Structure 1
Amino acid sequence: MSDVRGDAVVTVAELKQQVKEFTESRNWGGGHRSKNLAMSIAIEAAELMEHFQWLENDDYAAEKLTEEKREQVRLEVADIAIYLLSFCNQQGIDLAKAVHDKYQINEKRFPVEEWVK
């Protein structure tokens, strides 16, 4: 885990494998079922929202957050991503394909010409 590589080089498949290995090495399979993982995603998302709960619209821009707050937010995002990747592993979801397919649907639902005037 000391090999820190960023978004530009790490694949979703690598992240999913890392989550799978971490979970399996700790024998967490029994607790990491779809219902629990879905709930954990929502719980972590709520924890992320909590950081912005009482801020005014102009106060939540990344450059306005303290370094400590930005780190807390970054780690909440990581929690959400880890649970989401684990959920995808559990359900056999190809995340990249699901995102692609959803964009195809959204392209039809929200045509550019209706939003850009």
Structure 2
Amino acid sequence: MRAFTDERDWAKFHDPKSLILALVGEVGELAELFQWLPGDEAVQRAGVDPLRRRVGEEMADVLAYLVRLADVLDIDLAEVTKRKLESSAVRFPAADFHGEAPEKA
């Protein structure tokens, strides 16, 4: 993402606020694809083109902006995700929450 941005001289537009707003916009576009789908049919319908292709494109946009935001803020997404999963494993032990949604996270 950094190389793509640098090749276009776009870094000047990539402050955290602008990247977060772009990220939110892309999440909105992804959500729009599912907005009126019945919940019990979403996986099936999203597995077939053209919806599958569109979902993939929007997910790629979300990931791209998230990766760029992490780069701008010098955050190692792999490391913080690993730590977050470790913390969540302590907060929500599988033995206590297997098949159960926590009432409040």
Report TM bin, short chain.
0.7 to 0.9
Q: Aligned partner of 1:71: which letter?
A: R
Which consecutive aligned stretches of 4+ in structure 1 deviate over 4 angstroms post-superposition? none
Q: Aligned partner of 2:84: which letter?
A: K
Q: 1:40 maps to which residue?
A: 22
Q: 2:88 maps to which residue?
A: 106
Cα drift, residue 58 of structure 1: 1.8
Q: Runs of 5+ in structure 1 lacking a partner?
A: 1-18
Q: 1:60 aligns to what SS in structure 2?
A: helix
| 1:1-117 mapped onto 2 (5 Å cutoff) | 19-61=1-43, 63-65=44-46, 66-116=48-98
d(CA) in 1 for partners of 2:65 and 2:58? 11
Larger helix percent: 2
Query: How many pairs align?
Result: 98
Q: 1:12 maps to which residue?
A: none
Identity in percent: 32
Q: Deviations over 1:27-48 (max 9, x none)?
A: 0011111111111111101110
Q: Does the 8 Å CA contact 2:19/2:65 hold for their aligned counterparts? A: yes
d(CA) in 2 for partners of 1:107 and 1:69? 34
Q: Does the 8 Å CA contact 2:45/2:51 hold for their aligned counterparts? A: no
RMSD: 1.2
Cα drift, residue 116 of structure 1: 2.2
Name the TM-score, length of structure 1 as normaliser. 0.79
Name the TM-score, length of structure 2 as normaliser. 0.88
Cα drift, residue 64 of structure 1: 2.5
Q: Runs of 5+ in structure 2 lacking a partner?
A: 100-105
d(CA) in 1 for partners of 2:4 and 2:37? 35
